[in-house]
Amino acid sequence: MSGSDPGKLISKADNLTTLSLTRWSADWESATRLYEQAANGFRVSKDYENAKLAFEKASKGREMLSSPWDAAKSMESAAALAKELRNWTEVIDFYRKASELYMQCDRPQFASDSLAKAARAVEDALPSDAIKLYSDACVLLEDDRKEQMALDLYHAVTNIYVKLEKYTDAVAFLLKLGLAADKCNATNSQCKAYLSAVIVYLYAHDLKQAEKCYNDCSQIDAFLRSDQNRFAGKLLSAYKEGDVEEIKRVAQSRSITNLDSVIIKLARKLPTGDVAAFKTNAAIGEGEALDENDLK
């Protein structure tokens, strides 16, 4: 039937929005309904490219009708189809547009969710873009004082950085996660984030930064009194003793089973290098301290 042919519906809708000598104003109400019908028709027939284009037009129509909420929904549908087509640039652009439209409705949680959907879609293909999207999604939630909802997004960014072997950046986001958790009284999440930061530094074979991170985080009473703090302390002591077997024993204990799987994998691989030098350096440091005392 011609009335249900998606292509003809698009043509009819386009005519309703095209001004001419006989049409002095666009009929966006009728046109938008036709675009939506066409989009659904194309999608059912798995013509994703034309379905995507139809949803774009439907979104524009809803904007023209001053309905940003419905415009955002149509734009998200276009983004989902762009994902099916593996057009990552459009996935990002469409979800960002949807996010902006949700913000026009003063719905930051939905706006954040759109950015997170984009990030998850492009995480493997465009990890750097995913990090930016997740970060922007976190900002929207934190500005809305919904830090609790941002915790999973911080975890996602950390996991990407670990996969990219950008360990310093991973730690930076773990510390941001700890701060966000503190603001929403998620003490367990906060302490796990700080322990994870120590583990990441140790995996990167940077005992100095691991100790500094541990000492800095221990200034926070919740972490100082936590099981995660005690576990981190045991791990660092084993490193300073140069005791490979103790490091392995501690790292294989059940105390880390509640951490993210990515962090658990790092811990299971400890130590990653020669720890004998750490014991030597510690001994030298203690010797220097004794010499200073002898001079007094």
Distance CA 16, CA 19 (A): 8
pLDDT at 282: 56
Q: What pLDDT, on a 0 to 100 scale, did the predictor assign at position 1?
A: 39
Measured in whole angstroms, the distance separating CA 75 from the mean position of its chain's CA atoms is: 21
Q: Which two tokens stand for residue 167?
A: 């360990």
DSSP secondary structure letters along 231-288: HHHHHHHHHHTT-HHHHHHHHTSGGGTTS-HHHHHHHHT---S--HHHHHHHHHHHHH
Q: What confidence score (pLDDT) does residue 264 get?
A: 96
- List of the chain residues with pLDDT < 70: 1-3, 21, 23, 280-296
Which residue in 3, 21, 144, 133 sits closest to 79, CA to CA? 133
Q: Is 106 helix (H, G, I), strand (E, B) or coil?
A: coil
> Torsion over CA of 13, 18, 23 and 28, rounded to 10 degrees?
50
Q: Domains along the chain? A: 28-143 (1.25.40.10), 173-285 (1.25.40.10)
Confidence (pLDDT) at 274: 87
Give the pLDDT confidence score for residue 285 in this predicted structure: 52
What integer pLDDT is reported at residue 284 of this predicted model? 53
* Cβ neighbourhood burial of 24 (10 Å; 0-12, 13-18, 19+): exposed
Nearest Cα neighbor of 50 from 9, 102, 21, 18 is: 9
